[in-house]
Structure 1
Amino acid sequence: MWSFKSGLAVALVLASTLAVAAQETYPTRPVRMIVPFAAGGASDMIARLVAERLQARWGQGVVIENMGGGGSNIGVAALARATPDGYTIGLINASSHGLNKALYKERLPFDPERDFAPISQLAITPNVLVVNPDKVPAKTVPEFIALLKQNPNKFNFGSSGIGTSLHVGMELFQQETGTKLAHVPYRGSGPMMVDLLSGQIEVALDGAAVAWPYVEAGKLRALAISIPKRAEFAPDLPALSEFLPGFDVTAWHGLAAPAKTPPAIVEKISRDVREILATPEVREKLAAAKIIALGMTPQEFKAFLDGELKKWAPVIEKANIKLD
């Protein structure tokens, strides 16, 4: 005799069977991977490295589609609108899922909490607090903080643009240290670095991949790294968290699918990606570019993303950062 309980049991068994089948057969055709930046940057490099190895593992093409613009909003919005069948995945980042909700508010073309199924964090790109040694005499973080407190607004910090992680990261630094610098935004890290090297500005928080060659050449002085612990490529350089507990400002890169993508497929992609990121070959390739591989389960990544939104919204509000 049929009953609700027996019917429910059959449904659960069927759902479980279908989930296992989805994991075993996926993918059966090429997968599109959206990268919300132009080709050639760190996000593109990470995506291609992972895509190549997923393709070899799956026996199906993984096609990179670069969709830059709008502070990554264009590509991430396209990911949110894609069919949730596992055949479109894409990169998300510190701006799209950390900063942009507070910066763009109702103009943001997606909801970072509602519109995505987190798959895994992929990697982080450490930032380094650097100064022009001819303009800033401080050689340590405590000396630098003391110098800034004695000279409010005397020193300028550059960033790759208003509302970027490098800008907001320095606002967090000022809020936590009680210091004040003048902000000079640029159209990207390249022109900002030119002015930092020439002394037109004195301070910047910039990606290690960009800044470190100048540190090694003695053209910039590195005071600290902005990840929670010291980096393997610079074990003598302290982390800012050693002076400011919990301080963590990184450019992170993650992988997500559209919301309502079958959980079994999300779990399979996440597991395969984490295994790829754990291989010495991939870790070494990323480390050579000052990028740190870091895989997460979908659940771990979801918790991380929730924390990013909670972390940056009050910083942006207190700094009164507004985009035109």
Structure 2
Amino acid sequence: MFRKDKRTVLRLALACALLPAFGAAQAQSALPSYPSRPIKFVVPVPAGGAADVMARMIATHLQAKWGQPVVVDNKPGAGSSVGMAQVAKAAPDGYTIGMGNVAANAINPAVRPESFPYDPVKDFAAVTMVGITPLILVVNPQKVPARTLPEFLAYLKAHPGQLSYGSSGAGSALHVGMELFMQKTGTSMVHVGYKGSAPMLTDLLGGQIDASMDAAATSWPHVQSGKLRALGVSTAQRVDFAPDLPPIAQTVKGFEMNPWHGVMAPAGTPPAIVDKLAAEIQSFLRQPDTEARLRERGVVRVGSSPAEFAKTLRDEAAFYKKLVADAGIKAE
């Protein structure tokens, strides 16, 4: 009797041990059918910018690799929340993905939490962080005599509240980046919000405002031409496209801002599909030609795992919630 029971127990134990492998095999066997139809890739910003370029590069690669159309759909508006709301509400089947960013998934939810159309963390399945678009602290050299960041800090402290800085709007990464800078340095400037970075940059070049914490992709060409002066980069490390530009953190302890862009799917998307997307995109991002093309656009390539990106989402949401509250940033 005991021997028979023992054999039964052993058979059950073996069956239980094989269940995970069987489940994995089933998931893998289902993967070849994905994708079996076109994928919509929502980009919550206008065409032409760094995020749009990243998305189109990825879409072209996935389409060539998998033989299914990957259609980029630009849905700008409301600080990127229009497009990402569409992703959040889509069927979690892998056929709608989006290019999330720090504004849509961290800053704007903190600025207007009561009216936000989705939870910036819980409503998404993180796939991979594609890249970071560093900000650079720039000044109009005709208006601001400082040539280095320490000189700029001394100038700000000698002229409290007398300088102005521009951003692409209240709650934008450009706005929050400068608020963090002033918070860390105990300085003050007047904020001038614009409807987008293009009109802000026009006024900065024209001398209507004095400074900005602008995206490197848009300001760096003007630094190279001498029309603007760069004083520091927002990332903790130097960047390849400007190796001589020191990090702001070198002078301002604790300052770091990494405006990121990453691929997301609706919450509930099967892990096997998330992993397949992540693996293919990561492989593409590791190619030297891909990294070189991103660098030309002022993008620092990342290519994180789904778990790493999910942790970043949680950490960034918490960080900006506190920063927005401490700085008293309000929606326009």
Partner-residue secondary structure (3-state), 1:71: coil
Structure 1 residue aligned with 2:25: 17
CA deviations on 1:154-197 (whole Å, 9 max, x unpaired) are 11000010110000010000000010111011111111111111
Q: Which moved more, 1:100-109 or 1:24-33?
A: 24-33
1:169 aligns with 2:177: yes
Asked if structure 1 preserves the Cα contact closer than 8 Å seen for 2:161 and 2:190, the reply is yes
Deviation of residue 6 (structure 1)?
Answer: 7.7
Deviation of residue 44 (structure 1)?
Answer: 1.1
Structure 2 residue aligned with 1:277: 285
Cα distance in 1 between the residues matched to 2:141 and 2:119 = 43
Structure 2 residue aligned with 1:248: 256
Structure 2 residue aligned with 1:91: 99
Structure 2 residue aligned with 1:312: 320
CA deviations on 1:84-143 (whole Å, 9 max, x unpaired) are 111111110011111122111121111012111100001111111000111111111111
Structure 1 residue aligned with 2:304: 296
Structure 2 residue aligned with 1:60: 68
Structure 2 residue aligned with 1:29: 37
1:217 aligns with 2:225: yes
Aligned residues between the structures? 324
Partner-residue secondary structure (3-state), 1:272: helix
Larger Rg: 2
Cα distance in 1 between the residues matched to 2:12 and 2:199 = 67
The gaps in structure 2 that reach 5 residues or longer are 1-7
Cα distance in 1 between the residues matched to 2:259 and 2:43 = 15
TM-score normalised to the size of structure 1? 0.95
Cα distance in 2 between the residues matched to 1:101 and 1:4 = 50
Cα distance in 2 between the residues matched to 1:20 and 1:159 = 47
1:129 aligns with 2:143: no
CA deviations on 1:263-310 (whole Å, 9 max, x unpaired) are 111111101101101111111111112122210000110111111112
1:171-250 superposed matches below 5 A: 171-250=179-258
RMSD across aligned positions (CA): 1.8
Structure 2 residue aligned with 1:109: 117
Asked if structure 2 preserves the Cα contact closer than 8 Å seen for 1:30 and 1:63, the reply is yes
Asked if structure 1 preserves the Cα contact closer than 8 Å seen for 2:238 and 2:247, the reply is yes
Letter in 2 for 1:105: P
Partner-residue secondary structure (3-state), 1:179: coil
Letter in 1 for 2:252: L
Partner-residue secondary structure (3-state), 2:79: helix
Letter in 1 for 2:192: V
The gaps in structure 1 that reach 5 residues or longer are none
From 149, 158, 170, the equivalent of 1:150 is 158
